[in-house]
């Protein structure tokens, strides 16, 4: 008989009104606390009874965590700001349009109205073995069920696998890395500011987490510096359905072109590995070159070096190669975000 999982496990709900109150709760309950922002990833876990926290800390009443404001010449986005607010904000659209494009690609309008930017970058992997409660490495077991001869692994990693081949599902993450965003994290020891690319971790660092947050920590804001505002942007997401689907792969680039050559560039890609990847070697290789098809072709070949296909995801290697090619060499033909 099939197991019916339609009743959430019991938990105690807290709805703090300030960041300080939130930190006190997280410090008190530590591993027993589950932080909920928009709730979209949370409710998936709870209704399937895979996660059973004793305490849920709902951030919806913490007004300090929401909103977009100018700061330091750039923008600061509160972690619980909805994706819809990010997409529609006039300064984001004018100066950081790669982020509004990435956030808009993340889901349907209804989900964007509820989902938050902090939740989008902090959500867990969507690997169905893990999400269904299989005792894999990420869940504390000793097997990666997605990396076996009979596994269904069409959406899984071709790079950076270390026992686990699950990928990061965020659409806003590569855009934020391309923009050199900073993530503001409150910890029991105080505030910590990290580069966007360093917020995410792979299984070689900690196979049970996808980001640096530990029990008691809270992502409070994301800062967009002025350095990359208004530059040439490219974002592309490949997915099975046009809306409400996670990426098979996505790419984001920010580029400064001077006298027809690439002066500065940041390039990131997601759903190829367990964490969003900044392609620093590709950036180095194309700097000083013209952003044309030949440069893009060279960059694409370099990007996929070391890629290893699983049983059902060999398509990801040419897909990654072509996404990188278009992100760099498609200036004339592709629509910039």
Q: How far apart are the C-alpha atoms of 32 and 11, rounded to whole Å?
A: 10
Q: Are residues 57 and 176 in the same domain?
A: no
Residue with tokens 């997915």: 239
pLDDT of residue 8: 83
The reply to whether 235 falls in a domain is yes
CA atoms within 13 A on the CB side of 186: 18
The tokens describing 305, both together, are 């070096």
Beta carbons of 112 and 106 less than 8 angstroms apart:
yes
pLDDT of residue 309: 97
CATH of the domain at 206: 3.30.465.10
Confidence band for 242, pLDDT divided at 50, 70 and 90: confident
The reply to whether 140 falls in a domain is no
Q: Tell me the DSSP string of 152-177.
A: --TTS-SSS-BSB------SHHHHHH
Residue with tokens 């305490």: 55
Domain that holds residue 22: 12-62
**Given a cut of 90, is residue 6 above it in pLDDT?**
no
Confidence band for 333, pLDDT divided at 50, 70 and 90: very low
- Global pTM value: 0.94
Beta carbons of 106 and 168 less than 8 angstroms apart:
no
Q: pLDDT tens across 145-185, in order?
A: 999 999 999 999 999 999 999 999 999 999 999 999 999 99
Q: How far apart are the C-alpha atoms of 273 and 62, rounded to whole Å?
A: 33
Q: How far apart are the C-alpha atoms of 312 and 4, rounded to whole Å?
A: 30
**Given a cut of 50, is residue 32 above it in pLDDT?**
yes
Task: Give the residue from 67, 60, 74, 109 showing the smallest Cα distance to 89.
Answer: 67
Q: Are residues 94 and 195 in the same domain?
A: yes
The tokens describing 164, both together, are 């686990």
Which ranges of 261-312 would DSSP assign to H, the alpha helix?
280-286, 293-303
Q: How far apart are the C-alpha atoms of 311 and 145, rounded to whole Å?
A: 12
Task: Give the residue from 100, 136, 139, 140 showing the smallest Cα distance to 120.
Answer: 100
The reply to whether 241 falls in a domain is yes
Beta carbons of 263 and 287 less than 8 angstroms apart:
yes
CATH of the domain at 32: 3.30.43.10
Q: Are residues 47 and 108 in the same domain?
A: no
Mean pLDDT of 273-284: 97
Average pLDDT score, the chain: 94
pLDDT of residue 332: 38
The reply to whether 154 falls in a domain is no
Q: What is the DSSP letter of 138?
A: T
């Amino acid at each position: 008989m099939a197991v019916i999982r339609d009743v959430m496990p019991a938990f105690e709900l807290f709805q703090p009104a300030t960041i300080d109150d939130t930190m006190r709760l997280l410090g008190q309950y530590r591993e027993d606390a589950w932080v909920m922002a928009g709730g979209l990833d949370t409710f998936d876990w709870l209704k399937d009874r895979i996660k059973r926290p004793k305490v849920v800390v709902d951030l919806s009443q913490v007004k300090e965590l929401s909103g977009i404001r100018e700061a330091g010449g750039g923008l600061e986005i509160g972690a619980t700001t909805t994706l819809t607010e990010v997409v529609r904000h006039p300064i984001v659209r004018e100066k950081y349009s790669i982020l509004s494009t990435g956030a808009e690609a993340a889901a349907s309008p209804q989900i964007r109205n509820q989902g938050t930017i902090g939740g989008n970058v902090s959500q867990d992997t969507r690997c169905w073995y893990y999400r269904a409660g299989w005792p894999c490495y990420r869940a504390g077991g000793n097997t990666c069920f997605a990396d076996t001869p009979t596994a269904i692994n069409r959406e899984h990693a071709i790079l950076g696998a270390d026992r686990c081949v699950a990928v990061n599902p965020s659409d806003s993450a590569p855009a934020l890395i391309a923009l050199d965003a900073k993530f503001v994290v409150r910890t029991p020891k105080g505030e910590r500011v990290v580069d966007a690319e360093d917020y995410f971790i792979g299984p070689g660092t900690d196979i049970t987490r996808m980001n640096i947050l530990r029990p008691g920590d809270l992502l409070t804001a994301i800062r967009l510096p002025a350095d990359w505002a208004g530059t040439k942007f490219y974002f592309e997401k490949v997915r099975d359905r046009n809306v409400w689907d996670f990426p098979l792969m996505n790419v984001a680039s920010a580029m400064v072109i001077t006298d027809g050559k690439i002066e500065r560039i940041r390039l990131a890609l997601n759903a190829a590995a367990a964490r969003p990847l900044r392609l620093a070697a590709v950036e180095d290789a194309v700097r000083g070159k013209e952003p044309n098809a030949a440069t893009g072709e060279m960059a694409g070949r370099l990007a996929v070096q070391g890629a290893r296909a699983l049983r059902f995801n060999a398509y990801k290697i040419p897909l990654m190669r072509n996404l990188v090619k278009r992100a760099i060499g498609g200036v004339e033909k592709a629509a910039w975000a």
